[in-house]
Structure 1
Amino acid sequence: MPPRSLPRPRPDRRTMLRYTAGTAAVLPLAALAGCSGGGRDPDTLRIAFQQFGSGTLMEQWIQRTAEAYTADFPERSIELVPIVASENDYFTKNELLMSSPRTSPDLVYEDTFILLADVAAGYLQNVDEFVESWEHWDDVVEASQEAVTAQDGHVYAVPTHTDTRGIWYHRGVFAEAGLPEEWEPTSWEDILEAARTIKEQVPDVAPMFLFSGMPQGEKASMQGFEMLLYGTEDRLYDEESAKWIVGTQGFVDSLTFLRTVFEEELTLSISQSLDPNIGESIYSSILPEGKLGILIDGSWISQNWTEDAPSPWPEWTETMNVVRMPTQDGGGSGWVTLAGGWSWAVPKHATDPEISTSFIEYLLTTENSVQRAIADNHITIRRDVAAVEEYRTYSPTAEFFTGLLEEAYYRPAYAEYPEVSSAIQQAMESVMTMDKSPEAAAADYDAAVRNIVDEDDVEEAS
């Protein structure tokens, strides 16, 4: 592994950023599969990342960083591999690329929920030496350090940011429905009652939406189901016993809430809900056009409405409001949020890991991290970034969502979690389509968990 800083040649500002064919390379998997690992130029850094629909914020961030990087290292070039895919498809395609020296990127953007599964599959190498000498590792909050540390004690990625979740609601829809402008639900029933009021008073508007079903991937598990489950007394995993929990009432109750939403037609249609691109439609048109009242979603979504976004919506700051997600009956702290995050990781077959980690250092300077947070509505996991006034004041919702982080729950992102998450999505889909009752879907989930993990790693709820 490399030291924190590499010797840097005298900058040549006349050096042009060297992209494949002069621009960011969008390489299909078939083309990459034909590349020869032995013939790759070690000075060409191939970077794979998810491109969300028509958004190019990630590409712009990497391009800006690459300009500074190649000015300092003119003999090196950057090859971008944006993967335009839904969440689940992105993970699959990324793993396919990493599985072979011929196709492997040199740097990959990893959701922390999939990270340990990719470590267990042997796709990634640790970055211990880099983080030990990187000047900002101690700025990273402990929870985020732990999220990229495997059970073997090694660090396998460098975290970039986190996120939290709550309820977004449309002030105009609420006003038309006669609901309070400053709405503060204290239970799931409060949410349902607001949705019922919108349905009755504003019938051409979808009352609410939460991501659900297999096509929505991890969004369904985290933004949808776990925001419900963690508002009950039950969890997916018992950290003390190190066992996955099955047979919980909270699981059934969460599915029952979902069944109510679809049974009473308090949300978008089934076909819309199962559309893997529904999120982009919600952000670009459904919400801005006042066709949705309540959305359970994350801290980052207002990035879709900035001046440089594909669908700018400057009025969102006056039109939308945010509130904490209540627990099932107002118990506990009274509210709940889930936090996640992304990271940069070095694949096992990276051409030159030293070059890979040197680029991470450029990507994650304090200044670059502040600007990235502002552009993409991120919540920082670094103390140096949080101390910058520009970060603290960049968005009307920044303080609200950052304030949720201290008491946020995190997914049990062990190697088995992606399969467990898929079982959650299947349970949701069977309930929302009326194929199975909440109890039957929960029983199917319990059986799936017992097949995914060893029997010794499962416990029945008492």
Structure 2
Amino acid sequence: MRKSNLRMWVTTGCLVLLTMGNLYAAGNQEAGEGEKKISITYKDSWAGLIEPVLEQFKQETGVEIEAYVAPAGMNFDEKVALDFAGGTASDIMLVDGYRLPEFAEAQYLYNIDDYLAEWDDWNSYFESMQKMVSFDGAHYGIPVDTDVRMLYYNKEVFRAAGIPLPWQPSNWEEVMSTALTIKKAAPDVEYPFFLTVGSKAGEATTMQGFYMVLLGADTVDEDKNRLRDWNAGKWIGKSEALLDTFGFYQDVFVNDKLSLVDIYYSPDGSGERRRNMLQGNIGFYLGGSWDYAKMWKMVKDQYPTEKEFNDIIGWVAMPGSGKAGTPEVSCVSGGWAFAMNAKTENPDLAWSLLERILSTQNVGNWFSSIGKIATRKDVAALDIYKEDPYLAAITDLVAHTTTRDTYPGYSKVSAYIQSATEEIIDGKSPNEVMENYYNNLVLEFGKDQVITK
């Protein structure tokens, strides 16, 4: 049985357990004269992608590989941050994409633009995914996996409310009118429209809720539909998009009363949301691509085939507001990336190993076997990948997606957004909420770092 306070080092032919205090430092490798060594850190759930390549790479190159495999249950994101801060990070690190700008600014990561320029595979990555690993005009990682967000709906509730299927809303008005129809025609449904809200849900409120509305509230020009103006290099404290998004929340929770708030404060909010959805107590909700498998697993005894499950649960892209020039589809994504340590003594070897791990076939085979969304078009085009109809369908959203405004300081901004949505529930007007949000940003970053659009 593994213990989370132990570190597992996988070397060729053996498994060495070390305490948390006995770490491998990429910049202080102890090797015999002329011997080269590469280290890599990843989560144990990624072993199927990585470990077959490690052994093959070792055999072909003679390079010693030290692999740190983080066991399930460990706070991997925190471990990565501590390793970088303490100078003990491996040559290759699996990094949560939203932390990449922070790590790049701290000069923890290797600028890989020169390698990418010579790597034909880079052109196969979706542009949205390439942007996820960029900071200040340079690339510091390779996006490995991602997720997407969309509207899930209960088809039995829709049938009871007389709403035609499949559901294809094209703007906010159609989303809201659908919820109002459910409220009137199916009054027992307590959550016609479940929209994640509040600080308790943390980043889920920002990503599954606020961003999915904000991105469709205005045009992409001049970052009008974002939390940060990247050209100006400032956080956006006031904008029409922010005001309209706060207004959207006000319509759902106050004006039209389309959702109760009980589930939001339950100990297992995500689980309760899925259970209520399957029980027909939610008409539709904004959620993540992972919800599909989690919901099906909960009712697989009742609906053993995917066709049977699809008869009760459907999904559709979240539309933009419908205003002129706004995106037709709103989607925001997270994901993990491989990055190279800025202090690596063997960048060419580290890059060579990454090329092997991220070959089209290796990624395609593994992603298809576990249902991960491809970050590259050539993988999405593989027959083995397209055998999963849900996976193939949701990958279309990757071309429309974007990422969070993860400039250093983003975590504070996200927390202020979460608090702002609670203020809406408490009865404050959108204008009051936006003013409070603006003031919070000014106090945190200074007035010269906050812009009104």
TM-score (norm. length: structure 1): 0.76
Structure 1 equivalent of residue 65 of structure 2? 76
Pair 1:183-2:171 in alignment: no
Query: Which SS does the other structure have where 1:98 is aligned?
Result: helix
Give the AA of the match of 2:153.
Answer: Y
Alignment pair present for 1:210 and 2:195: yes
Residue matched to 2:379: 385
C-alpha distance in 2, partners of 1:96/1:310? 40
AA aligned to 2:385 is Y
Local SS of the residue matching 1:76: strand
Of 192, 211, 221, 2:176 maps to: 192
- 1:438 corresponding residue in structure 2: 430
Q: Report how far residue 93 of structure 1 moved.
A: 4.8
Q: State the 1:43 CA deviation.
A: 5.4
Aligned residue number for residue 302 of structure 1: 292
CA change 1:135–1:258 in 2 (3 A) is: same
Aligned to 1:10: none
What SS does structure 2 have at the residue aligned with 1:446? helix
What CA distance in whole angstroms lies between the structure 2 residues aligned with 1:265 and 1:139? Answer: 45
When residues 320 and 333 of structure 1 are mapped into structure 2, their CA distance, relative to the original with a 3 A threshold, is: farther
Are 2:84 and 1:94 equivalent residues in the alignment? no
How far 1:148 sits from its partner (Å)?
1.8
Q: Which residue of 1 aligns with 2:8?
A: none
Are 2:41 and 1:47 equivalent residues in the alignment? yes
User: CA 1:296/1:307 → structure 2, altered by over 3 Å: closer, same or farther?
Assistant: closer
CA contact (8 A) 1:17 1:77 kept: no
**Which deviates the most, 246-255 or 187-196?**
187-196
User: Residues 17-68 of structure 1, C-alpha deviation per residue, up to 9 Å, x if partnerless?
Assistant: 64456xxxxx9xxx5245475688895845244xxxxxxxxx4442453134
1:394 aligns with 2:388: yes
1:32 corresponds in structure 2 to 20
Q: After TM superposition, give the deviation of residue 242 of structure 1 in Å.
A: 4.5
**Are the aligned partners of 1:48 and 1:80 in contact in 2 as well (CA < 8 Å)?**
yes
Counterparts of 1:79-228 in structure 2 under 5 Å? 79-82=68-71, 84=73, 91-102=77-88, 104-151=89-136, 153-200=137-184, 201=186, 203=188, 206-228=191-213
8 Å CA contact 2:191, 2:282 repeated in 1: yes
Q: Judge which range, 121-130 or 420-429, deviates more.
A: 121-130
Q: C-alpha separation between the residues in 2 aligned to 1:226 and 1:307?
A: 28
Q: Specify whether residues 131 and 245 from structure 1 end up closer, same or farther in structure 2 by C-alpha distance, changes over 3 A only.
A: same
Q: Check whether the contact 1:48–1:81 (CA below 8 A) recurs between aligned residues.
A: yes
Greater shift, 374-383 or 249-258, is seen at 374-383
Corresponding residue for 2:259? Answer: 267
Secondary structure of 2:340's aligned partner: strand
CA distance in 1, matches of 2:267, 2:353: 32
Q: Deviations over 1:234-272 (max 9, x none)?
A: 4233455454333223312312322343346533634x3
> Which residue among 417, 427, 436 is the counterpart of 1:424?
417
Kept in 2: contact 1:19–1:77 (CA 8 A): no
2:239 equivalent in structure 1: 248
1:169, CA displacement in angstroms?
Answer: 0.9
Alignment partner, residue 439 of structure 2: 447
Any gaps of 5 or more consecutive residues in structure 2?
1-10, 219-223
Which range moves more in the overlay, 220-229 or 307-316?
A: 307-316
CA displacement at 1:231 relative to structure 2: 1.9
Question: 1:206: how far off?
Answer: 3.2
Distance of 1:412 and 1:144 partners within structure 2? 14
Distance (Å, rounded) in 1 between the aligned partners of 2:378 and 2:58? 26
The TM-score with structure 2 as length reference comes to 0.77
**SS at 2:434's partner residue?**
helix
| CA distance 1:190–1:90, shift in 2 (3 Å) | farther
Q: Percent identity?
A: 26
Where structure 1 has 5 or more consecutive residues not aligned to the other structure, the ranges are 1-14, 22-26, 50-58
Q: Which whole-Å CA distance do the structure 2 matches of 1:40 and 1:218 have between them?
A: 41
Q: CA deviation at 1:193?
A: 3.5
Cross-structure match for 2:5: none
Question: 1:227: how far off?
Answer: 1.4
